[in-house]
Amino acid sequence: MTSRQRTLFDRDDVSTTSEVELRTVMRFPAFKNISNGDLFSLSLSNNTSALTHGMHRFAAKFIPQIPAWAIEEFAEKSSTVLDPFCGSGTTLVEALHRCKSGIGIDCDPLACLIAGSKTASVSPKRIRSLAVALERAWTVPATELTDPMPGIRDFGHWFSKDAWGWLQSLRDCVLALEASETERRFFLTVFSSIVRWVSNADDQTQKTYVSGTLKKSPPAVVPVFWKALRKAESALGQLQEWRLRDAEAKVMCGDAANIDIKPESIDLVVTSPPYLDSVDYMYNFMLEYFWLGPLLGVKDKTQFNGMRRGVIGAKNPASREVPLLPESSADLIAEEDVAPARLLATRMYCHMMGRHFASVGRAMKPQARYVLVVGNSQSHAGALPIHDMLIRLAADAGLKFERAFAYRVRRHYMKFPRKGRGGIILMDWVIVLRRASRPQDYPPRLPIPNVQLGHDEVAH
Ligand SMILES: C[S@@+](CC[C@H](N)C(=O)[O-])C[C@H]1O[C@@H](n2cnc3c(N)ncnc32)[C@H](O)[C@@H]1O
């Protein structure tokens, strides 16, 4: 298969364009009114953490407007929507409002816990009565402190004795509640949502570390937990009103490169796949894993470290035997141009994403759409054109490129000085693919728009 070099865009192919205007919109237009290569500035005056969306932090969540748009465009009430990299479950929450069935897959057990609780079919009334039982039981901190996961060194580095004691007794009381599995997981998700906050670790970054320069005074566990629980319970109430009657979301812990779903059963896929060596999701949740890992099947620190190397996009993949970069990427990236330290990770990423597209393609109905969101990672020298690469890997698996558009979010309530930060910037691309019956030709590469960041815009 050869790639055509001619561009469909009226801008230069793969070069920085002269400065272009973004079209400001309050919501994305209908697909039929979007042209390939359109650039939007999405103006959001409301926040993006309504319903259960804000129940738990999660790196690289996408904004709910993306799955909402895709589901409205390409699905019906009777549809089954799949997010094979579901992370914290944004797609599934949006699907509950519009379709009878949502399926999420993620290989990270904590992500599955969060996504499951954010879409749980649990009555807020029941959560309230369990909260009353918990309040009666959880009255003192544990006095005999034990490491919650075998293999952690110096747990006291991460938590004060006070926080450790209260978290330990809280976890034990939640485990002792007379609750269903789903209800208990809901409480554990709220537990998890406060762990970083009450720890000594920095709150300002996703990475888990205790800052030597920015001294933190963590808040007390008890009021923080009750506040988070009240918020989660009210979010659940909103979700119950909003979801379609009988709508269900199912979350499966599994590998998106080897999907275990009935062939030709999925009407729409909406997802944001992991990037190549960018976010280490499990490392970001290290403290949450210390507390909950053994309950989620991650028995000790060694297993935790091993799992971090098994995800798609891992910096340091566990496997040493990885096929070379696919032929399809030959004119996008040459092996000799990749820094030796990144070569294995890059090969592994392409290999796994190729397997993912083949696997998900089999689960999709003929003509079903696959909408993926991926950042423009060409913003700094030496970065790889991941979005072009993904389009080609998908084409090899019989997913035909239809159209792509890019967006940035403009938030009215955020005002950062952005002086001097113009030039090539991060845009998120929304790429729409459609299942065909055989491998597809490659479309022209996506352009890199040269747009100035406005004072109230964020590139995420
Ligand atoms: C960009 S995040 C998705 C975020 C999600 N859209 C949200 O709003 O929360 C990518 C996810 O892919 C997951 N992932 C990485 N490798 C995977 C694999 N082999 N199978 C399934 N999920 C995987 C990561 O654990 C992470 O949760």
Q: Ligand 1 pocket: which of 311, 319, 386, 430 to mutate (most atoms <8 Å of CB)?
A: 311
Residues 6+ apart with CB under 8 A from 4: 441, 442, 443, 444
What residue spans define the domains of the chain? 1-107+254-273+319-460, 110-249+280-313
Q: Tell me, in angstroms, the distance from the centre of ligand 1 to residue 216's CA.
A: 30
pLDDT for the residue 331: 82
In the structure, what pLDDT confidence band is assigned to residue 408 with cuts at 50, 70 and 90? confident
pLDDT for the residue 19: 55
Tell me which fold the domain 1-107+254-273+319-460 belongs to.
Rossmann fold (3.40.50)
Other CB atoms within a 10 A radius of the CB of residue 214 amount to 9
User: What integer is the mean pLDDT of 299-308?
Assistant: 95
Indicate if the pLDDT at residue 173 is higher than 50: yes
Ligand 1 atom 26: the closest Cα is on which residue? 87
Residues 6+ apart with CB under 8 A from 223: none
| HSE-up of residue 189 (Cα within 13 Å, Cβ side) | 33
What's the start-to-end Cα distance of the chain, in Å? 34
Ligand 1 atom 10: the closest Cα is on which residue? 274
Rounded to whole angstroms, how far apart are CA atoms 458 and 167?
35
Q: Are 115 and 281 in contact (CB under 8 A)?
A: no
Task: Answer whether 312 contacts ligand 1 (Cβ < 6 A).
Answer: yes
Mean pLDDT of the chain: 87
Task: Answer whether 63 contacts ligand 1 (Cβ < 6 A).
Answer: no
In the structure, what pLDDT confidence band is assigned to residue 415 with cuts at 50, 70 and 90? very low
Rounded to whole angstroms, how far apart are CA atoms 216 and 184?
31
- pLDDT tens-digit profile of 16-74? 444 567 888 989 999 999 999 898 988 876 667 789 999 999 988 889 999 999 999 99
Q: Tell me, in angstroms, the distance from the centre of ligand 1 to residue 128's CA.
A: 31
